[in-house]
Chains A and B, each alone.
Chain A
Amino acid sequence: MNLALLLLSPNRLVHLSGVDIVIIIFYFALVLGIGFYLKEQANTGEDFFMAGREMTAWVAGLAFLSANLGSLELMGWAGNSYKYGILAAHWYWIGAIPSMLFLALVMMPFYYVCKTHSVPGYLKLRFGEGAQAISSISFAFMTVLMSGINMYAMAVVMKVVLGWNMHFSIWVSAGTVAVYVALGGLRSAIFNEVLQFFLIWAGALLIPILGLIEAGGWNGLQAKILQNLTELNVPNPGSYTHLWSTLGNFNDNPMGINWAGIVFGLGAVIAMGYWTTDFLVVQRVLSAKDLRSAELAPIIGAAFKMCVPFIVILPGLLGLALLRDPQGHLLRLVPANLAWSPQGQAQGLHGYDEVLPLMLARYCGPGLLGLGITALIAGFMSGMAGNVSAFTTVWTYDIYGTLINKNATDDFKVKMGRWITVIGVIVSIFTAYIAAGAPSIMDYVQALFSFFIAPLFGTVLLGMLWKRATPAGGWTGLLAGTLSSIGMYTWVKIDPNAVRYVALSMDAQDQAQNMFRALWCCLICVIVTVVVSLMTKPKPDSELKDVVYGLTPIPKTEHASWFHSPIFWGAVVAIVFVILQIIFW
């Protein structure tokens, strides 16, 4: 049996031509070349872990967005838009834009002025080493776990779409990320994230353009979706193309959620928690060269984030309208576990997450297909590089440098950073194989991840804005929020009827449950923090300088006019955001 047969499965969605393979190989060669080129510029801890803090607003902003724009994000949300309709766009608009602007204009000055290396590092300055230890250990654990599980899911997709051997996908992609991050550190990760940003757009933008031409524009698309879903007897077929008008009642939309869950659960808690306290994305902004760049970077990221539904949500909706099987019947996609089971494969079923590759195969011939697949691989690698570089920094500064060896030299930290990058990738690979043996583990890990993010936002926000918050209050609030989230999750698992209390409706689907659980646990975190803080002794003001509002002198930015002001551009993004909500109401 030759090598090609070992690496390729005969059952695959698309077939790559020679030029497609040349494009993919060129991409891998380029990212490795960038890693080797940048090695000489990563000699100090500040260089390796913070990219020398010399990134422009554009570079930091695009990397900030790109670290989140993984391939699972692309394929997963395209699949979700097929499943839930345009409601999935909430995760890109209200679930991102207000929180990115909040990070830029309210929180970034504190992160930047205190010169922290990480979010756990900020918690150390504000609440002490206890909160830092819990936050850093849980973050490092979750980051590596998520990285591996995403890697496994990516390998499954590559197997289904391209017929690639899963071991091949895992080792080649992970090995490439390990090499370029270990060599160039955060600078290398950021360079590649910017490159990947352009590749993702170049590879994915053609699908909605050609799709809208085929569907007859937005009106034609809406009419086709209504006709197809009516034919399939799907309830509320008209709700798939409306963003807000179906959120009055839980059972009027395919997600089983109401406006309160979207506004407060998603917009005010989950999104705020992710975009303002998840070090994976915040690290990119901390690499900015000055405060103004650090404030502008999330605003630039927000401007592009508003456009992402065009390449993610629209292809899912186009799939609902246009996809048909070879016999000309409507093609109905199914959940992944059904599609990827042996029976599903035998029947030729496709999962929701395959809608983007299906649309890619529909419009893209040789060359364009290679670019589209490269975009998916680039998305995966940018997501993984983000996880690995954030893990390396938190391990080196917040775990090793704080808990194990406080006297480590800068040179030693750089060496450790390189080795930990490789070790982090190897652990991720093993996690990927564990996930392969337990497919449902991803659901649990995503839930675990949300346990820490939502209450962490409450803790960091109170820490920044309320000087009366005490170390005891911060620590107990974080713990109470996390435990309450775990408790609610377990309650629903044991007694499914409990969903009517946790998510306020028996119609609530998984995403709706996540929203409400996050909302309650964040509120619990805030209440406990406030109550305990009022009962315990606060830190003196002298110890809170540069970490709390009112005690932190914000440096004057050097911009000369309102046109260069972050506030002006933040307002522009906010206005466009509101207009989009009205257009797609």
Chain B
Amino acid sequence: MKTGSHLSIWFFTGLCLGVVGALIFATGIYEIMHPPVNKVVLFDLHANVWWGAILLVSGLFFGIHFSPANERKRMAGKSSSV
């Protein structure tokens, strides 16, 4: 949802996915360097690395595309075309 001068829901979504993705990705990298004693099933697939990366990239896309600065540009573009 876009609300003019207000922050978009998609920006909040991007913020959430980005932060959570970064934390999971960083944890996955740490686990590669320091493998845990009790491993989960299919540990060798390193799901936290690639899943964290997917969430991080998705978060960055939403966060940047719907950032307040880009929202203002879009609104300005709409106003000038009217």
With a cutoff of 8 Å between Cβ atoms, the chain A residues found around residue B40 in the complex are 361-365
Classify the interface of chain B: helix, strand, loop or mixed: helix
The B1-46 residues at the A interface (CB cut-off 8 A) are 1-3, 6-7, 9, 12-13, 15-17, 19-20, 23-24, 26-28, 31, 36, 39-43, 45
Pair A54/B3 contact, Cβ less than 8 Å: yes
- Which residues does chain A contribute within 8 Å of B45, judged by CB atoms? 210, 213
Give the complex CA separation of A194 and B66 in angstroms: 15
A554 within 8 A of partner (CB): no
Most buried by B among A30, A191, A198: A198
Is the Cβ of B31 less than 8 Å from the Cβ of A41? no
Asked if B67 is at the interface of the complex by the 8 Å CB criterion, the answer is: no
Residues in A neighbouring B42, C-beta threshold 8 A: 210, 213-214, 363
**Cβ–Cβ contact B43 & A199, under 8 A:** no
Tell me whether B9 and A210 are in contact (CB under 8 A).
no
Interface residue stretch chosen among A21-29, A474-482, A483-491, A516-524: A21-29
Whole-angstrom CA separation of A364 from B19 in the bound complex: 18
A41 with B23: in contact, given A30-B16, A55-B1, A191-B12 (CB under 8 Å)? no
> Within the complex, what minimum Cβ distance (angstroms) separates A212 from chain B?
11
B13–A198 CB distance below 8 A: yes
Cβ of A194 and Cβ of B13 under 8 Å apart?
yes
Residue B63, interface by CB 8 Å = no
Chain B residues positioned under 8 Å from A199 (CB to CB) = 16, 20
Residue of A nearest to B38 (CB): A365
* CB–CB A371/B6 < 8 A: no
Size bracket of the A interface: 35 or more
Name which of A194, A198, A367 has the most chain B CB atoms within 10 A of its CB.
A367
B43 to chain A, nearest CB (A): 7
A34 on the B face (CB < 8 A): yes
Please name all residues of chain B whose beta carbon is closer than 8 Å to the beta carbon of A30 when the two chains form the complex.
12, 15-16
| B16 and A206 contacting across the interface, CB-CB below 8 Å | no
Minimal beta-carbon separation of A91 from chain B (angstroms): 27
Query: What count of chain B residues pass the 8 Å CB interface test?
Result: 31
A319 to chain B, nearest CB (A): 13
Q: Which of A54, A191, A202 has the most CB of B within 10 A?
A: A202
**Smallest CB-CB separation from A202: which chain B residue?**
B55
Chain A residues lying within 8 Å of B36, measured Cβ to Cβ, are 365-366
Contacts of A365 in B (CB 8 A): 27, 31, 36, 39-40, 43, 48
Q: Which of A19, A365, A371 has the most CB of B within 10 A?
A: A365
Query: Which DSSP category, helix, strand, loop or mixed, fits chain A's interface?
Result: helix
Measured between beta carbons, the chain A residues less than 8 angstroms from B23 are: 19, 22-23, 367, 370
Contact A41 to B6, CB < 8 A, known contacts A194-B13, A195-B12, A214-B42:
yes
Whether B7 contacts A367 by the Cβ 8 Å rule is no
**A88 contacts B by Cβ under 8 Å:** no
A368 near B47 (CB under 8 angstroms)? yes
CA distance A22 to B27 in the complex (A): 12
Complex contacts, A145 vs chain B, CB 8 Å: none
Q: Which residue of A lies closest to B1 (CB)?
A: A59
Alpha-carbon distance between A30 and B63 when the two chains are bound, in angstroms:
14
Query: Roughly how many angstroms separate A366 CA and B32 CA in the complex, as a whole number?
Result: 12
CB distance B20 to A26 under 8 Å?
A: yes
Min CB gap A539→B, angstroms: 38
Which residues of chain B come closer than 8 Å to A41, judged between CB atoms? 3, 6
B16 to A: closest C-beta gap in Å? 6
Q: Is the CB of B13 within 8 A of A195?
A: yes
Q: Which residues of A contact B16 (CB under 8 A)?
A: 26-27, 30, 195, 198-199
A15 closest partner in B (C-beta):
B38
Excluding A27-B20, A370-B23, 13 further A-B contacts by CB distance (< 8 Å) are A22-B23, A34-B12, A55-B1, A194-B9, A194-B13, A195-B12, A202-B20, A213-B42, A363-B42, A365-B36, A367-B23, A368-B47, A368-B52
Residues of A within 8 A of B (CB): 19, 22-23, 26-27, 30, 34, 37, 41, 54-56, 59, 190-191, 194-195, 198-199, 202, 206, 210, 213-214, 361-368, 370-371, 374
Query: Can you identify 11 A-B contacts, CB atoms within 8 angstroms?
Result: A26-B20, A34-B12, A41-B6, A55-B1, A56-B2, A59-B1, A195-B12, A363-B40, A363-B47, A364-B48, A368-B51
Q: Which 6 A-B pairs have the closest CB atoms?
A: A367-B27, A367-B24, A59-B1, A365-B40, A191-B9, A362-B41
